A and B are shown apart, each in its own frame.
Chain A
């Protein structure tokens, strides 16, 4: 099957720094991508999405970058806060069935 995965299982950043979470995907036909945040004891929460006709999309303190050439997706969080501590998942699809990555745990320390 197709593989959507994350380079690092855990990312530790200092409060106030920017965070970059990466995701690789292998299905070149995927045309829609989503980032989810899952806090401890909670379900995944939609953060931001991007379509394949774009290479960058910005939200509030978050930016998603898509590089279709190398099939790479990243989530940038500006001025990381303690409340950003969570597991972050990327998901991709070309058929409406979302394929999720295993997740990266973001730890924010003071």
Chain B
């Protein structure tokens, strides 16, 4: 148990559906992240929020829309996705961002497996 909880763990959606992934952290952290993990590819940073403000958008297509209502919750809204968007989506948190190099360890959730059909 890392203190970062993601729901749902598995999601199958059609290309015209709208769905959302949810992440909640119980660590008192101020920074939250979305990462994408595809088969045989490195982890890709998608978004970073620090104190509820988006600080990084790593050229993510607009069909992915993040929302951070408070420092403990993070959503990823999904709309008109493509089959190539099928992947494991990982939420993570850390004390602050930037801060990685200062030892602010990033803690990952267990991920949401997304399949787009």
Contact = CB atoms under 8 A, between A and B. Distances in A.
Interface stretch (B41-49, B60-68, B74-82): B41-49
Contact of B41 (A42, A43, A97, A102): A102
B4 interface: yes
B42 A32 contact: no
A83 interface: no
A100 to B, nearest CB: 4
B27 to A, nearest CB: 13
Contacts of B4: 43
Interface residues of B, number: 23
B112 to A, nearest CB: 10
A103 B2 CA distance: 21
Q: Chain B interface mostly helix, strand, loop or mixed?
A: loop
A46 interface: yes
Interface string A10-37: 0000000000000000000001100000
Nearest to B9: A41
A76 interface: no
30 contacts: A32-B100, A32-B101, A41-B110, A43-B4, A43-B92, A43-B108, A43-B110, A44-B108, A45-B2, A46-B107, A49-B103, A89-B42, A89-B43, A91-B43, A93-B100, A93-B101, A96-B98, A96-B99, A96-B100, A96-B101, A97-B45, A97-B100, A98-B100, A99-B42, A100-B42, A100-B43, A102-B40, A102-B41, A102-B42, A103-B42
Contacts of B2: 43, 45
Interface of A: 4, 31-32, 41-46, 49, 51, 89, 91, 93-103
B70 to A, nearest CB: 21
Contacts of A97: 45, 56, 100
B13 interface: no
Given A96-B101, A100-B43, A43 B109 contact: yes
Interface string B20-54: 00000000000000000000111101000000000
